[in-house]
Structure 1
């Protein structure tokens, strides 16, 4: 098995008969999915999604893939193929199209409807190509065939890419639900046919590779959801992903049966469910869905609210309800149904939301205490089935944290695939398929790009560390008036402390450390303000850590006397 090597440099030129695979996101993380294929000088992008921030990334809206390696080659991109409409696969498309707005965007009917609506908010009119299962499209040197797959959102597609270097099959997100709510099965006959043709490289969804057996069918959730509707004494608040059409359909069916009215809360939920209903993917009986304001005068046991926030996102409707920062006030008699699986890394945020809602008297139903969610991803039994059916020559696990990728690689090897033909790599590690074999050949930039307050890239890892330090350790501003002639303090510095829970006078004991740092700078002939501020900041930081075990953010300001 291959793995990332820190010593890897830029990859060499790709042989003309080779196919290069460059993962820019989705490996080692659940989100930010993006894979770039290169062949004969052209590039094909498969998915372009976002990652949602965790607690140690305060103030960040979303996290994008790094487009650096694409910027000099934007004109070589022949298309962006979207496997389905979840944010972790389409959310970064607007930011890539801002780099070049005429890149064709290829996807199924629902996926294109979702991304077109999102792009409208960014004032981008995309060039779209709608495809369906069974279709084939040629984009530059890439001959793409689209295959139906079952997932937690309708219209999911796997994509088979035929090139002069061989046949690549990318599953996208998929599972093998035998009783799907929309009667749309994963097309295993197409997988088998491609296997007979010869799949040279198989990119496989890894999210559930650690889970034995087969993923539970969506229909098996109906009893648990029905129980919530049957027993809830007051309002029901359902929180789900804004694109989870299948789950919302089950909620619609239960609400209709129990004669409750439904209102969607949150811009993305209102937008996506409106699109799904308009296109016929969401079946809604006449009069069932009303505006949220229309529910105000209704009896609580006749009300259902469907909102976002199942992952504890701080600005989502459910989090704001838990914090009493929303017009909808949660109280005694309300039942909150969290109808989405927990994405790794969001445990603490979700726990805070549950505790906040419980505090106001609500009953919380979630996957930990009821069978109200099933995964949209194939478990180990399904993955093994696919390996045995397709018999790929080479495998590259995608979509998952490292433990998921490793588990998927082990499954592939257990079915007889040689370890040397399993490319287990991290974001940015380049894998080339040449003469039927995969090989790690280099590495490109694939770091996090942060969107904060609508701006891209202004927030860095350093500024995030500063934000975390501010939130955990507080800050102290040191205003030092320095004699330009001697380099010494002209008068004792002022200390302005915030968030330390201590008297600012304690920092007077740090003055000798500042004087020592300034004396050393003067001895070296250093009088630059920026360098003096760095030395003062370092001196105060070291003193605070040594004397008080505190690590506040130190902001030094030097004023020339």
Structure 2
């Protein structure tokens, strides 16, 4: 964790969010003050077995906890707020500032983790200003696929560091949300921006991103033309899309039933905050939905990303307690798969189609638009902000590179743009820039139990088990007399089929027998750990030479002298390697 910032330098670094989609967490450090911007999660890749999501290692922040003045949040998506409970478990004293809708979502998360009563929470609005001895924080309004989206400005003695959060320039937003505040952005630019940290998700898209109102009209037209029951799946946090679906249901005389806890919470938060105005009687209890004619039903549910336990997946699999698919059902996917979820989403679409449902999805039907800016909007933002230095954030490496090229087209010198990696520390002044060290930030895995101590070794073992299988080796030995009393027996699970691999298993048994005899003959005698290590390494090499696969080896060595039950001697107790056979 070598960070070498000079007293007059502003440090900028990412704890997550660079070279990846998700886990957004960016910091501005000046002398003895740190401002954290967002704290998100990343969804796991397909080979990260049993993992719900990935967060960052917060060790550097724990070490420098006295410097942290605030965690400020740009908006309420999981990749920007999902890590907050895990950060607060390590540093509970951090005050958290968030816009209203994000704050409601954060409260729910903290309550689940038992942290709500111990956390200092504050609402932030566009005119909020946070002042600290050396740094100050203010906000500006943007638009995204969720209400209450703010960009963040951290004012330092060397100039402003601006973080966009997720954004686009939607000039005709829905649900009475205000348009982006171009005047305030231009004013920030006139006052001097030291560095702009800008969202790179759509850096490869050469156009403006379509307005949410365009999708609203398209969805309304599609829903109006459907005769049967409608199952509408989208992100629970995308209140714009939820509002559009509910309004279309009202206009076509349909009742709405909500399935999925996150969808229920999202709708309730929208109602409580005044973003959703739903006439009484529109939303009906889930138990009533099967009593209504199909043409009067809309089911609003979670599961647009193919999550196995979400409502839509259970409906598709026929395991939902209240909803069964009908041949005339229409399922609308009003979202695009996030990276890593494409396979599961396609699988879900296939299952729904096989069950006889009509599936409407993707940009072909204009039922989704991105919440992220394309190149033309990105150029416009750079022209408004006029930053001295430019850092693309929130995107995979190629997206960051393309984004720097776009910034350079607007006149920013190439040596003033930086494609950083998580942990790289960029040190800036008005007149200088340099890399000032690197913070080691390993991945931290959170499994289905909510535990955040699942190490890389555990994930690697799960990958081996899934891809290569398991071989269990059991033997009873007498260390004192250097004898193998029983076994070694070998059991295969997911590696080879035992009955069809008797020659391989028999050869492996003989191989392990010789390893045990060689190990026990050593002076001084090895301990049990060394014996197991020798079996694992030698047997893996042996099996690889025969099969080109390396299964996980699990040795179980029983010491006769430690066993409370004496082993009855018979002719089979002292095994001869030439007589070992597979049971």
Q: What are the within-5 Å matches in structure 2 for residues 25-104 of structure 1?
A: 25-104=16-95
| Residue number among 418, 433, 437 corresponding to 1:438 in the alignment | 433
* Structure 2 CA distance for aligned equivalents of residues 166 and 39 of structure 1: 12
Aligned-pair distance for 1:520? Answer: 5.1
Flag the structure with more relative contact order, 1 or 2, with Cα contacts below 8 A and sequence separation at least 6: 1
Q: Does 1:207 align with 2:205?
A: no
* Closer, same or farther: CA 524–26 of 1 in aligned 2, 3 Å: farther
Gaps of 5+ in 1: 1-8
Could you tell me which residue of structure 1 aligns to residue 2 of structure 2? 10
Could you tell me which residue of structure 1 aligns to residue 212 of structure 2? 218
Alpha-carbon contact 1:423-1:440 (below 8 Å) kept:
no
Aligned-pair distance for 1:386? Answer: 1.4
* Closer, same or farther: CA 350–525 of 1 in aligned 2, 3 Å: farther
Q: Does 1:560 align with 2:553?
A: no
* Closer, same or farther: CA 376–487 of 1 in aligned 2, 3 Å: farther
The alignment partner of 1:116 has SS state of: helix
Q: What are the within-5 Å matches in structure 2 for residues 240-389 of structure 1?
A: 240-327=234-321, 328-389=323-384
* Structure 1 CA distance for aligned equivalents of residues 544 and 228 of structure 2: 53
Aligned residues: 552
The alignment partner of 2:403 has SS state of: helix
1:127-147 CA-to-partner distances (Å, cap 9, x unmatched) read 222221133221442211110
Aligned-pair distance for 1:155? Answer: 0.6
Aligned-pair distance for 1:435? Answer: 4.2
Could you tell me which residue of structure 2 aligns to residue 175 of structure 1? 168
| Residue number among 501, 505, 508 corresponding to 1:507 in the alignment | 505
Could you tell me which residue of structure 1 aligns to residue 113 of structure 2? 122
Aligned-pair distance for 1:18? Answer: 1.5
Aligned-pair distance for 1:366? Answer: 0.9
Aligned-pair distance for 1:86? Answer: 0.7
The alignment partner of 2:284 has SS state of: coil
Alpha-carbon contact 1:265-1:307 (below 8 Å) kept:
yes
Q: What are the within-5 Å matches in structure 2 for residues 415-494 of structure 1?
A: 415-485=410-480, 487=482, 489-494=484-489
Root mean square deviation, CA, Å: 1.9
Aligned-pair distance for 1:389? Answer: 2.4
The alignment partner of 1:493 has SS state of: strand
Alpha-carbon contact 1:214-1:379 (below 8 Å) kept:
yes
Alpha-carbon contact 1:209-1:379 (below 8 Å) kept:
yes
* Structure 1 CA distance for aligned equivalents of residues 59 and 154 of structure 2: 24
* Structure 2 CA distance for aligned equivalents of residues 330 and 58 of structure 1: 30
* Structure 1 CA distance for aligned equivalents of residues 162 and 102 of structure 2: 20
Could you tell me which residue of structure 1 aligns to residue 531 of structure 2? 532
TM-score by length of 2: 0.91
* Structure 1 CA distance for aligned equivalents of residues 151 and 483 of structure 2: 68
* Closer, same or farther: CA 90–67 of 1 in aligned 2, 3 Å: same
* Structure 2 CA distance for aligned equivalents of residues 268 and 545 of structure 1: 47
* Structure 2 CA distance for aligned equivalents of residues 187 and 537 of structure 1: 63
1:108-149 CA-to-partner distances (Å, cap 9, x unmatched) read 122212211221222222322222113322144221111000
* Closer, same or farther: CA 517–416 of 1 in aligned 2, 3 Å: farther
* Structure 2 CA distance for aligned equivalents of residues 139 and 325 of structure 1: 54
Which one is further off, 214-223 or 472-481? 472-481
Alpha-carbon contact 1:537-1:555 (below 8 Å) kept:
yes
Which one is further off, 210-219 or 479-488? 479-488
Could you tell me which residue of structure 2 aligns to residue 107 of structure 1? 98
* Structure 2 CA distance for aligned equivalents of residues 185 and 368 of structure 1: 24
* Structure 2 CA distance for aligned equivalents of residues 226 and 526 of structure 1: 78
Alpha-carbon contact 2:489-2:509 (below 8 Å) kept:
no
Alpha-carbon contact 1:481-1:491 (below 8 Å) kept:
yes
* Structure 2 CA distance for aligned equivalents of residues 387 and 487 of structure 1: 76
* Structure 2 CA distance for aligned equivalents of residues 180 and 29 of structure 1: 28
Alpha-carbon contact 2:363-2:369 (below 8 Å) kept:
no
* Structure 2 CA distance for aligned equivalents of residues 486 and 366 of structure 1: 71
Which one is further off, 544-553 or 113-122? 544-553
Gaps of 5+ in 2: 561-583
TM-score by length of 1: 0.94
Which one is further off, 363-372 or 272-281? 363-372
Could you tell me which residue of structure 2 aligns to residue 158 of structure 1? 151
* Structure 2 CA distance for aligned equivalents of residues 56 and 85 of structure 1: 27
* Structure 2 CA distance for aligned equivalents of residues 524 and 436 of structure 1: 67
The alignment partner of 2:484 has SS state of: coil
Aligned-pair distance for 1:177? Answer: 1.0
Which one is further off, 329-338 or 548-557? 548-557
1:44-92 CA-to-partner distances (Å, cap 9, x unmatched) read 1100111112211121122112111111222322111000011111111
Could you tell me which residue of structure 2 aligns to residue 191 of structure 1? 185
Alpha-carbon contact 1:199-1:391 (below 8 Å) kept:
yes
